[in-house]
Every structure is written in C-alpha cells, then in structure tokens.
A and B are shown apart, each in its own frame.
Chain A
Amino acid sequence: MAVSKRIVLRFPSRLVDRPIVYRLVKDYDLEFNILKASVTPAEEGVMVLQLKGDREEYDRGINYLLKTGVQIQSLSQDVTRNEERCTSCGACVAICPSGAFELEKGTRRVIFHDDKCIACGLCIKACPPRAMEVHF
C-alpha cells in the first residue's frame, strides 16, 4: 500500500552536512518533493517534505530518520488558524498556491484544509487580521 505524507524534518546542526534525504531514495525507494527548506551550515535545519512510497518502506525510512537524530512532525500541525481572529474575509483564498482555503458555498465562510497546506507561509502575512500562525 502506498502512502504520501507531508512532514517537517528538523536536523540538528551536526546532521546538516550529511546526505540524509538521499538515503530515503536510495535505501527505501521513497519519492520526495521539497516544499520548503531552510538549511544553513552549522545551524539547525528545517525541511518540509512530501514523502511518497510503499507503506512499509515509508515506516522504515521514518525509523531511519529518527535513529539518525532527525526530529519529525507531521505538517498539518504546523500552520494553524486562530479561529478567534479569522473573519472569513477571503484575502488568503487566491494567495494560497496549494488551494488550502476554500470558500464554503452558502455561508461564505473560509474553510482551511490543513491537509492541503504545504506550509509555504504566504498566507501568514497576507492575512489582514493575522489569523494564520506558523509553528516550527
């Protein structure tokens, strides 16, 4: 069975210069798509990946990452909406490149599909009441 997940990897500075993502391809036959990366030599690195492959291989790949010391979070927890501040204006809808915001017909409320979010961060500052929050 195939899986496809968006995950946030956090590399401690000692791992930043090691070809970790390469091993996911080579050893576990996983397909990756880098959605966002911030890697600076000698500092902690953060990478947002879409990872696709066989379920078992995927789990083994994740295990490998954890063993090497990479911290993993699932992406959907990383961009959240403060429901108190969201007014459902819609300023985010056309800004989001992955279509994570949808205008609900009828109520005209803006729905946030966090499973579609690629954590690019464009909505964070484009949101006038600053309702979108990113947590890395």
Chain B
Amino acid sequence: MSVSKPACQIDNYEAKYYHTIVMSKTIAEINEKIRAGKAVVATAAEITDIVKEKGVAKAAREIDVVTTGTFGPMCSSGIYFNTGHAKPKIKFGGGRAYLNDVQAYTGFAAADLMIGANALPDDDPRNRIHPGEFNYGGGHVIEELVAGKDIKLVATAYGTDCYPRKRLETWINIKDLNEAVLFNMRNAYQNYNVAVNLSDKTIYTYMGVLKPKLGNANYATAGHLSPLLNDPYYQTIGIGTRIFLGGGTGFVSWNGTQHNPTTPRTENGVPRSGGGTLAVIGDLKQMSPRWLMGTSMLGYGSSLTVGIGIPIPILSEEILRHTAVTDDDILAPVVDYSTDYPERKPDILGEVSYVRLRSGKIKVEGKEVTTASLSSYPRALEIALTLKEWLQKGKFLLTEPVAPLPGAESGITVKPLEIRPIED
C-alpha cells in the first residue's frame, strides 16, 4: 500500500472503515514520496486499466501522479532571448532584425529579440505559387537554435547617442545568449475540431491537406493522453504548474489565448469542442530539437511542433476519475474547412468519438472517411512515460499552482472580432 502519511495512520483501521474516509493527499506529501523515490506514477494511458481493475477508490489511494502528454504543431509558439551587447552597442528596438533571414520582432529593448513560429523570410514566395511550401520559417529557426547550430543575425537600427551602431551582422549561438526562453501563448488545446473539406477542390489548411468531397478527415489532440482532457475542470493544472516542455521543464504561465472554459461539456466534463488552453514558458537552453521541431504546413505556413507533458497529482477520487477518461468519452466536432470554418459559421457536420477517429475511418454525411492525426500519439506517449520516469527517479517535483486557471464559473467565452468599418 503506497499512501502518504496521514493515510497510513488510517490504514491501521479495519478495511471496512476505509472506504468511508474521503481520500485526500497533498502535493507536499506526494513530493516527499517523489524525493524518496517512492512515488507511484501511471500514465494517462495506463490509468484507465488500473481504474478498471482496482476501482476508483483503491486506485486513488495507490496512485500519486498521472502523467499526460501531447506532441503536435502549436502555432502560437515563440522564443525570446537576450544577445548581450555588441561593441559598439546597437539598439534592436525599433529597428529590424533577421535570424537566418527570418524576420524577428524588435519591439523591445536594445538586446532583446523575439521570434514566432510562423515568421517567414521576406523573400519567401508564401502562397503566390499555391500551395506555398513554407520550408523554412520561425519554427525552423527555433529548432536550429535549440539544436546548438549557429544562427545568422542581421540587424539594422537608427542609432542613438547611447547605441550608435546602425548595422550588425554576426553568428549567434544559444550557448552564448544571456537568456533564451520559449513562450507559447496558446497550446495544449482541450479538445479540437476534426477538419474535413466539402468542396470539390483540395484545400491546404493548418489541419493539413484536405482532399475534396470528404476525401479525408484530420484531427489534432492526443485524446485520452492530452493534458487538459485529463483535468477537465482545471482542478490541479493552474498558473505555476511545473511541466515537461520541449524536452526540458517549464511552467504554465497563464491561461492560453482563446481559453474557453464555458464551452459545452459532456457529463464527465469533457468539452465538446475547443475548450481550455494554456500559455507556457520555459528555459530554451534545457530543451531539445527532438521536442521542438520546425514544421511546414503546405499552403498554410511554418510552425513549431511542441512536446508538452503535465503531471496530475491525484489529490482526490474525483481528480483520479477524470484522469481515467477514455477515447470513448471524448467527442470532437467535425467541421468543414472549405466554407464553414473560414466564414466563421458555427455549423458542425456531427460529432465523432476519439475511438472512431483512431479506428482510421469515420462516417460523415453517410460517407466513410479516412482519418489521420496531426498530433503524434507515439510521441505523446513517450512524453508521458518520460515524465513518469522523472517523477519515479525524483528528478521532477510537483508544484502547487499559485492561482487557478479561469473555470466555467468565470463566464469567460471566446469573443469573435466584430469588424467596425473605419470611415475616413
């Protein structure tokens, strides 16, 4: 029996009294066990069978942490870093800067630069020859920087008395940067659309290539392994939660943009469409190109495929029950990306379960459609297993959130942009 201290005392009573006592552990208690190398950890894939075998009450007492994982293209990813000062000094802020010919953002102070995964070189043809290939963009710069490759920095500035340099050309390397930080403003979506194409021509989307007339259907979450689907009401994942990020450790820094906790849910709390999201942050210098991969979406743009894993401390039976979510419990809306999505129509073509999606075929409007995922299940599982190993070996400690993510009670919804014409 692996339980924390107060529970051990309870354990001395007759077993029949046991179930009448509400199981509760604290993060501090679980951390003690992690430090001692005694934490009992299961992945979100393993926990389903454990719960089936032992029941919720017993599993909740025995399991300390459930690990989750996801590995998919996350477009709102970016990095910022500080280059140190050149001699003489240059002020990037208000000037222009390029990293391997990809434009970086220069709206900050003298030596701070930021680049997003979707940034492109000025001379990239984009979609002028449709579909554009987007073979190299911000996501690829990030991957190469993380891989330890030299990156070409070219910057121009207007020059000031304190920062007189107007032009800079140099190689930079992550090991020489003062700070390099991954910051993603929206990822780990709690459920997502299944994308199809009803039109009669192939379309190229951030959900991949969609063949005409329901030629295929692409989905995007790790299903039962996905972090926020295992903690649907954000009972443990909050601001300050330590996570696996890009192969290193990071933190949940805020709710993600377009966080939508009020989205309709099934009985067990699973959002029926895009629900909560996370903003995450972490030290890029700890990360690895295996878990931050430059990605090219044909006809759409460049992106970054990011690995995120979140531990869920089993503090109560309810929390455990949520982690036992199965692909059967997760329903995703099927959305037409040829008209309904771009025109912001709320229509959906139906709902399908992740079990159906994973079977390789779904039925849409009476037609059998081949499915594929954009997020990698084997790599999501590898993340959950890695996090499990870190916890078992005492290499990773849990954190208490410093503030919760806004839940359904916040009333927060995703607002559209209503265009207000600008009259001259």
Contact = CB atoms under 8 A, between A and B. Distances in A.
Interface of A: 85, 87-95, 103, 107-109, 125-126, 128-130
B208 A87 contact: no
Given A87-B71, A125-B298, A129-B295, A94 B376 contact: no
B358 interface: yes
Contacts of A87: 71, 293, 305, 376, 378-379
Which label, helix, strand, loop or mixed, suits the secondary structure of the A interface?
Answer: loop
B294 interface: yes
Given A128-B303, A130-B135, A94 B377 contact: no
Contact of B373 (A90, A95, A125): A90
Contacts of A95: 209, 211, 216
Contacts of B191: none
Interface residues of B, number: 33
B370 interface: yes
Interface in B259-277: none
Nearest to B299: A125
A119 to B, nearest CB: 18
A91 B294 contact: no
Interface of B: 71-73, 131, 133, 135, 208-209, 211, 215-218, 293-298, 303, 305, 358, 360, 370-379
Nearest to B131: A125
A81 to B, nearest CB: 14
Contact of A94 (B72, B305, B372): B372
A88 B372 CA distance: 10
Nearest to B218: A91
Nearest to B302: A128
Nearest to A107: B378
Given A90-B374, A94-B215, A107-B378, A125 B133 contact: yes
A20 to B, nearest CB: 33
B133 A128 contact: no
A108 B358 contact: yes
A126 B298 contact: yes
Contacts of A126: 208-209, 298
A125 B209 CA distance: 10
B302 to A, nearest CB: 10
Given A125-B296, A128-B297, A129-B294, 7 more contacts: A87-B293, A87-B376, A88-B379, A89-B376, A90-B372, A94-B211, A95-B211
